[in-house]
Structure 1
Amino acid sequence: MLVDAHAHLLPRDYPADAPECFPRMEPVDGSSARTLLFGAMRFTARDVFFDAERRIEEQDASGVDVEVLSPMPPLLKYDLPAGDGMSLARHVNEFTATLCATDPSRFKGLGMVPLQDPDAATAELKAVKDQGLHGVEIASNVLGKSIGHEQFLPFFQEVERLGLSVFVHAMPSPSERLPMAAMGTHVVGVEGAFAAGSMISGGTALACPDLRISFSHGAGGFPMVLPRAQYFWGGSWNEEPVDLTRAVMHDDGPSPLELARRFWYDSMVFDRRTIRYLIDLLGADRLLVGSDFPAMLREDPAARTLRGMDLPEADLAAITGENALRWLGIDTPA
């Protein structure tokens, strides 16, 4: 089984009476594609973004059995007024649930919530679950605050209580430290590291031990700095026994590595050497297949790099499918 745990959708249309700050989808002459207009954004969306039949055709062509569908990340626009953000989230969630219902064996949906209003987002989680969605996609920061900020702890506690899953997509934060040309490259590494690191250093990972959360693109640079966090906590190299004479921030709780091994990470890191590092550091049971499809093209066939790494059969089966189902809280089929 091959589960693509990082794939996106866009609604085909938005209500005619929607606020001006809503996205719009305009027809493209002579094409089944549509143009997404959202603030300054102009994006041509192929029909596979919103057409279930076309998505299944593309799955079959690339060897994918199941897609976990989350909103196209620009829809996670937390600078909208809270009420408009809620209206947009409900429209997108309804579309996602409807598309996934066309073939629940091929589509598993994630919704969205207006995290610019954490209380409203928390209250909306039950409605997300009642729609048959498996969880929510969130951005790595909310108006510049990383998701591990204490302000969002009640949200994650409710996610955990309801048995939902979270997918964290790296997104730019308000900053001029990197040029716009880096938004699709270096920002992913920086924001992924901030998001995952904040979940540990901010205490959310400890407070929510059963939270099922995954991070896009291997959580960016987070796995590279994790051994440093481990050294400051335990005073030793290479996960050797704790050396309290060297430790700076030791406590009696789980180590940073133990907490990081509760998360999941998609393996869309573009290089087998990076995947091997992630397996070695975090474990084969922590990785998922991801593609960013259809915003980006999948490998041809999907997971080609993973399949060419001579991984043990059990590890490959875990990464290509079983881990994604565990992250979603779905029983693995025989």
Structure 2
Amino acid sequence: MRIDFHTHIIPSHFPNFEEKYGGGKWPVLEQTCTCGATILVGGKNFREVTDQVWDPKRRIQDMDREGVDIQVLSPIPVTFSYWADPQEALQMAKIQNDFIAETVAEYPERFVGLGTVPMQDGKTAIQEMERCMNELNLHGIEIGTNVNGKNLDDPCFIEFFEMAEKWDVPIFIHPWETLGRERMPRHNFMYTVGMPSETALAAATLIWSGIMEKFPNLKICFAHGGGSFPYILPRLDQGWEVWPHLRLTNHPPSFYAKKFFFDSLNYDPLNLKFMMERFGHEKIFMGSDYPFLLREIDPGKVIDDTDGLNSEQKEAMLGGNAAKFLNIEKKKRGAVYASTNTGE
């Protein structure tokens, strides 16, 4: 069973929020042909996309060709719209959450869904998270690494994390609005340097602030193999040791880092082995970033190419770990899950 934890989807048609509400930061999907479109932000080309990003039948064709049994569908981060009025952003979130839920319901054996919530308003975010999990039967929530420049340890997010732990909601943290982006206008460094650094900052913030100590059962997965976080963890530990006056936790950062989960999107077996040694293979699951240019082809390639893995480790990282993280077995969704549970 191969589960691709990290894929993105968007409805092919949704209202033009720029015309409806004003403001120049709403993403607008402008179809250029039956098999392609442009995502515009502020009237400028943000990203060219193909029908892979909205057509489930096209996705299933790719999945069959690349050996993927299940995709976990999550929104494209540009649609988070944390900058907007919370009620307007809620409408954007609901359109996407409903679309993802409908896609999963149409193909329950091939897809699992994650929702999005307006993190700029805690109560609204919690309400939509509850709807995603209880009414739409989604399996988790995707959020950004910061919200309008506020790190995830800001007091306004505490209740959200508290309820996510209480309701056993898996959280997928994806980098967006990266630090230092004003210094990365060329070379697409926002994607290759900024996003890994942004992810590291988010992970370090959740640990150093004491959130992971306060909510020890909070389930969090970081995109892109955790970015640069796994490699700076010893430096974070050293800072904790030499600055005792800054400590907010009873243990060094590496203690809490073992609570995190990560997708496998780091492209290199050496990096994967490093992460296995640091966190354990149980904390890693396959993720490809389908269908974008930086994605791994075929999904799971870095796991397949890593020498010395036993069958238990490989099967866990290719699908078993994601199934446990997302509570797929508990929800018993579809015949494919039933066959997995019986070992068929």
Q: Does 1:63 align with 2:70?
A: no
Amino acid at match of 1:11: P
Amino acid at match of 2:279: L
Residue 21 of structure 2 aligns with which residue?
19
Residue 326 of structure 1 aligns with which residue?
324
CA distance in 1, matches of 2:247, 2:150: 26
- TM-score, scaled to structure 2: 0.87
Amino acid at match of 2:282: D
Residue 9 of structure 1 aligns with which residue?
9
How many angstroms does 1:171 deviate by?
1.4
CA distance in 2, matches of 1:158, 1:170: 22
Residue 240 of structure 1 aligns with which residue?
none
Amino acid at match of 2:298: P
CA distance in 1, matches of 2:16, 2:295: 34
Q: Is the 8 A contact 1:100 1:107 kept in 2?
A: yes
Residue 38 of structure 1 aligns with which residue?
41
**Deviation sequence 1:263-282 (CA, Å, 0-9, x none):** 10111112111111111111
Secondary structure in 2 matching 1:185: helix
Q: How many residues align?
A: 323
Of 270-279 and 116-125, more deviation after overlay is shown by 116-125
How many angstroms does 1:251 deviate by?
7.9
**Deviation sequence 1:265-313 (CA, Å, 0-9, x none):** 1111121111111111111111111111102364443212211212121
Secondary structure in 1 matching 2:15: coil
**Deviation sequence 1:96-139 (CA, Å, 0-9, x none):** 11111111221110110111112211222111112111111111
How many angstroms does 1:230 deviate by?
2.9
Q: Is the 8 A contact 1:229 1:256 kept in 2?
A: yes
**Matched ranges for 1:258-297 at <5 A:** 258-296=255-293
CA distance in 1, matches of 2:248, 2:74: 37
Q: Does 1:304 align with 2:311?
A: no
How many angstroms does 1:151 deviate by?
2.1
Amino acid at match of 2:36: A
CA 1:252–1:167 in 2, change beyond 3 Å: closer, same or farther?
Answer: closer
CA distance in 2, matches of 1:76, 1:25: 14
Q: Is the 8 A contact 1:140 1:170 kept in 2?
A: yes
CA distance in 2, matches of 1:255, 1:32: 50
Among the aligned pairs, what percent are the same residue? 32
- TM-score, scaled to structure 1: 0.89
**Deviation sequence 1:301-334 (CA, Å, 0-9, x none):** 3212211212121111111111111211222623
How many angstroms does 1:27 deviate by?
2.6
CA distance in 1, matches of 2:217, 2:153: 16
Secondary structure in 2 matching 1:180: coil
Q: Is the 8 A contact 2:208 2:248 kept in 1?
A: no
Consecutive unaligned residues of structure 1, counting only runs of 5 or more, are 236-245
Residue 132 of structure 1 aligns with which residue?
137
How many angstroms does 1:179 deviate by?
1.8
Secondary structure in 2 matching 1:8: strand
Secondary structure in 2 matching 1:293: coil
Residue 52 of structure 1 aligns with which residue?
56
CA 1:231–1:263 in 2, change beyond 3 Å: closer, same or farther?
Answer: same
How many angstroms does 1:156 deviate by?
0.8
**Matched ranges for 1:1-334 at <5 A:** 1-15=1-15, 18-21=20-23, 22-29=26-33, 31-39=34-42, 40-129=44-133, 130-173=135-178, 175=180, 178-181=183-186, 182-233=189-240, 253-296=250-293, 298-310=295-307, 311-331=309-329, 333=341, 334=343
CA distance in 2, matches of 1:110, 1:264: 16
Amino acid at match of 1:278: M
How many angstroms does 1:248 deviate by?
7.4
Which structure: greater helix fraction? 2
Secondary structure in 2 matching 1:28: strand
Amino acid at match of 1:322: G
**Deviation sequence 1:134-184 (CA, Å, 0-9, x none):** 111111111111213232111011111122111100112464663223211
CA distance in 1, matches of 2:249, 2:220: 24
Amino acid at match of 2:319: G
